[in-house]
Amino acid sequence: MVNELRVIKAGRQIEQPLNLRRINNAFGYKHIHRALNDDPAIFRKVYRMYPDVFRKLCNILREKTHLEDTRFICVEEMLGQFLQIVDQNHRYCVIRNNFRLSQFATSEVFHKMLKALNTLSKDMMAKPRLVVPAKIRENTKFFPYFKDCIGAIDGTHIPTTVMRHDNSSFRDRHGNISQNILAACNFDLEFMYVLAGWEGSAHDSKLLNDDLSRRNGLKVPQGKYFLADCGFANRRQFLAPYQGVCYHLQDFVGTGNDPENEKELLNLRHASLRNVIERIIGIFKSRFTIFKSAPSFPFKTQVEIVLACVALHNFLCKECQPDEFPIEEESTSSSSPIVEEELEELVSQTQEQQRDEANAWRLSITDYIWRERY
């Protein structure tokens, strides 16, 4: 084993212990630190955060994960490379040029950072709060009718790359190859739970049923609930709107389009409040442009990238000002309603009673809102 490096200097050999040498990619080191000390607005556009927030995240990664500076690369370089890939959708060849690394080193750094962020993802998920959210408490259209609501839930599709024999199961109803992701958020635009990796052909309700059967799935505190759209069955913990009744916000825009009955009024208030999940998904996709096209990674890695970016999103929500990037509008018809035949397949005989109780609970909220509408 080589313990010393013999260097020729000034015509004579100098023996230097190898473990005392700092072998650093000077170009990459200077590149990221030059950016950190340059215009903060430019840094924000490239890395989706300001330099002080970037440094704080690096310190968190050092403290809470196994990432550390080495003789070859520092944590700032690792994070900078990862963010350029997920934020700007840069390929390895661009990163190699920016940081002067080999293809192998670039890949190794990316997967190290991916593993580290996934280690933090659970801790960075927002926790349910027992207090009434400010968005509900401070608006008479929502309070006290939705005082026990803690957030919203929905599914969204992200382009994906899979093996050719899996194409049919990952093809969504628009004909695109995608993975379906179940997301729950609070009214502060923070993710509370994300389930990634389902086939694009899977219905949102199937994702929720699978999630509720998991030991580490989404937990809803006693007496609380999420808002869901018509793609989900109405349950005591997931309040869905009435089907066959005007629901989307644009249905009520313009003169003469006010709610005409109690069901339409419930749907309008429901849609106005549930809009938070569409906003957070739009911000998420505009912030991490890697999700605008199918990433060229193995499918398992693609799932891990989603979870790592969710952790980054929640971190940025706490540390940065409101997002300045244009929000990508989420389709208002991302989930197709469940018809009665499909619903019968999703619920068992013992769940029929629970569904009836949930419908009665929804009706009580509907009547309450209708009585107090003026």
**pLDDT tens-digit series, residues 187-208:** 999 999 999 999 999 999 999 9
What local confidence, expressed as pLDDT, does residue 350 receive? Answer: 62
Over the chain, what is the mean pLDDT? 86
Q: Which residues partner with 307 through β-bridges?
A: none
Q: What's this model's pTM, rounded to 2 decimal places? A: 0.85
Which of 56, 64, 63 is CA-nearest to residue 36? 56
ω before 144 within 30° of 0 (cis)? yes
Burial environment of residue 249 by CB neighbours within 10 A (0 to 12, 13 to 18, 19 or more)? middle
Least confident interval from 104-118, 283-297, 315-329, 333-347: 333-347
Q: At residue 234, what are phi and psi to the nearest 5 degrees?
A: -70, 125
- Average the pLDDT over 57-68 and give the result: 94
Could you please report the per-residue DSSP string of 86-145? HHH---HHHHHHHHT--HHHHHHHHHHHHHHHHHHHHHHSPPP-SSPPHHHHT-TTTTTT
Is the CB of residue 86 less than 8 Å from the CB of residue 288? yes
What local confidence, expressed as pLDDT, does residue 337 receive? Answer: 56
What local confidence, expressed as pLDDT, does residue 332 receive? Answer: 46
Q: Tell whether the model's pLDDT for residue 147 goes beyond 90.
A: yes
Q: Tell whether the model's pLDDT for residue 11 goes beyond 50.
A: no
- Average the pLDDT over 267-294 and give the result: 95
Confidence of residue 340 (pLDDT cuts 50, 70, 90): very low
Is the CB of residue 74 less than 8 Å from the CB of residue 67? no
Burial environment of residue 332 by CB neighbours within 10 A (0 to 12, 13 to 18, 19 or more)? middle
Confidence of residue 273 (pLDDT cuts 50, 70, 90): very high
Q: Tell whether the model's pLDDT for residue 114 goes beyond 80.
A: yes
Least confident interval from 1-15, 224-238, 241-255, 343-357: 1-15
pLDDT digits (tens, 9 = 90+) for 160-184: 999 999 999 999 999 999 999 999 9
- Average the pLDDT over 104-129 and give the result: 95
Q: Tell whether the model's pLDDT for residue 47 goes beyond 80.
A: yes
Q: Tell whether the model's pLDDT for residue 20 goes beyond 90.
A: no
Distance (Å, whole) CA 199 – CA 160: 10
Distance (Å, whole) CA 250 – CA 246: 9
Distance (Å, whole) CA 81 – CA 3: 32
* Most confident residue range from 223-232, 247-256, 338-347: 223-232
Residue 99 one-letter amino acid:
F
What local confidence, expressed as pLDDT, does residue 250 receive? Answer: 77
Is the CB of residue 169 less than 8 Å from the CB of residue 176? no
What local confidence, expressed as pLDDT, does residue 327 receive? Answer: 56
% the chain with pLDDT above 70? 84
What local confidence, expressed as pLDDT, does residue 202 receive? Answer: 94
Confidence of residue 283 (pLDDT cuts 50, 70, 90): very high
